[in-house]
Amino acid sequence: MKFLHTADLHIGKRVRGFSLIDEQRHALSQIVRIAAREKVSAVLVAGDVFDKPVPPVEALDLLESFLADLSETGVLCILIAGNHDSADRLAFGARFMDRSRVHIARPFSSEPQFVDLTSENERARIHLLPFVRPLHVKLAYPDEAESIATYTDALRVAARHQPLALDAANILVAHQFVVDGAEGPETCDSETVSVGGLDSVEASAFDAFDYVALGHIHGAQRVRRDAVRYSGSLYPYSFSEAGRKKSCGIVDIDGGPAAPEGGRFRSYTPVELDEERSLREVKCSFEELQAAATNDPHVDDYLHVTLTDPALMNAMERVRALYPHVMQLDFDTRAQKADAPAKRRERLAALDPVDLLEDFWRAQTGDDLSSAMRAVAASLFQAEEDKDSAAARGAASHEEVGA
């Protein structure tokens, strides 16, 4: 049996004021096509379906379109809530959606949640474990509350109460920060992870399952064993992820009546998701940025630009005239100073005030001072020089009188 594993859709997310709804729509349309092409038994969405507990209307519309398109292919979609979701709101209408091959997990409770699937002579039980905190598990199982002190304790109890199928593959869909001892997963700036790893869960808590489809960490990776995996987020949601290709995973499981000697997990195959507009980081001078923009086929990408110029008048306006989707603009003046040639510093030191002003003006605007502007600047500098000379003569006269 094959399944498509994805997570951390964060539908409705905005980064530095820019809506990513179009990028999410493009990625989700690919998920539908991949699921149909690979003939998977189900698409597993491991939490953080939305970016906020109360998502905007455009996010609701996009999820509805995604589920409708997937339903038309005949592929079942199974979703759980992540820490960014409201489990109650996400599960609204779940009983009706079951008829359209959409199964949404209800909020965590003492009643285990699972979906049994059959494909020819193979079976799989999909266990659903929405994002939980230790308090949720203590309330669900009060008789075991005293044994729950950490997230690992809580998830061990929750996992132990999932009824395993003896003659089928057991797949767990969960949304937690899963670690292997001192070795934690590689994280990104766009994730919400507790300081000090207080919310970490030992991967061994899920050893009873043939495959664990995880959400919460935005980079695709394995934890402890090949059958415990994060699929990664749908799209790069921070510049710490810039340049990393996002993907979903095709999971191949043996669902036969008898488990083979090597285990039921066969393989995990990542399938890259194409991006029409990516996140990029660029570091250069404004002049170099202008030259690059002329022939850049990706001027619509989301950019973090770091300019090595000492300063630039109306910087964001001028940079966005070249790249309209610049999300962040910084200046690296330290690098500029370190790289400034000694000859340039000597030349600037030798300039008279008007020429020095023109050099600065040219760096900011790209234009020379007009003759009228030079004349005004010369008169102002001369007035200041005369004032300084007069003050110096007055001070000298005062010293002579005092003597």
The CATH class of the 2-272 domain is alpha beta
**Predicted pLDDT at 187:** 79
Give the model confidence (pLDDT) of 283-301 as tens digits: 999 999 999 999 999 999 9
Of 157, 195, 200, the closest CA to residue 177 belongs to 200
Which pLDDT band holds residue 368 (cuts at 50, 70, 90)? confident
How far is the C-alpha of 305 from the C-alpha of 325, rounded, in Å?
A: 11
Pairing of strands 302-307, 326-331: parallel
Instruction: State the DSSP string of 8-29.
Output: ---BT-EETTEE-HHHHHHHHH
**Predicted pLDDT at 397:** 62
Instruction: Please tell me the least confidently modeled range out of 67-71, 148-152, 241-245, 319-323.
Output: 241-245
Which pLDDT band holds residue 189 (cuts at 50, 70, 90)? confident
Which pLDDT band holds residue 206 (cuts at 50, 70, 90)? very high
CA 45, 106, 159, 131 dihedral sign is: positive
Cα–chain-centroid distance for residue 248?
15
Average pLDDT on 40-66 reads 96
DSSP SS3 for 313 = coil
How far is the C-alpha of 389 from the C-alpha of 382, rounded, in Å?
A: 10
Beta carbons within 10 angstroms of residue 335's beta carbon:
13
**Predicted pLDDT at 270:** 97
DSSP SS3 for 285 = coil
How far is the C-alpha of 41 from the C-alpha of 114, rounded, in Å?
A: 15
Question: In terms of pLDDT, which residue wins out, 181 or 19?
Answer: 19
**Beta-ladder partners of 171:** 126, 211
**Beta-ladder partners of 296:** none
β-sheet with 265-272: strand ranges across: 102-104, 76-80, 42-46, 2-6, 247-253, 265-272
Which pLDDT band holds residue 197 (cuts at 50, 70, 90)? low
**Predicted pLDDT at 395:** 62
Average pLDDT on 123-142 reads 97
**Predicted pLDDT at 376:** 85
Which pLDDT band holds residue 392 (cuts at 50, 70, 90)? low
Which pLDDT band holds residue 95 (cuts at 50, 70, 90)? confident
Instruction: Please tell me the least confidently modeled range out of 284-298, 328-342, 361-375.
Output: 328-342
Angle in degrees, 0-180, between the axes of helices 315-322 and 286-294, rounded to the nearest 10 = 20
Contact status, residue 42 vs residue 75, Cβ threshold 8 Å? yes
pTM for the whole structure: 0.81
For residue 215, pLDDT over 90 is answered with yes
Most confidently modeled of 37-41, 256-260, 371-375?
Answer: 37-41
For residue 335, pLDDT over 60 is answered with no
How far is the C-alpha of 137 from the C-alpha of 150, rounded, in Å?
A: 11
**Predicted pLDDT at 25:** 97
Give the model confidence (pLDDT) of 8-34 as tens digits: 999 999 998 999 999 999 999 999 999
Contact status, residue 84 vs residue 131, Cβ threshold 8 Å? no
How far is the C-alpha of 399 from the C-alpha of 71, rounded, in Å?
A: 95
Domain boundaries defined on the chain: 2-272, 279-386
**Predicted pLDDT at 258:** 87
Q: Which residues contact 196 (CB under 8 A, 6 or more apart)?
A: none
**Per-residue burial over 34-68, b = 16 or more CB atoms within 10 Å of its CB, e = otherwise:** bbbebebbbbbbbbbbbbeeebbeebeebbeebbe
**Predicted pLDDT at 388:** 67
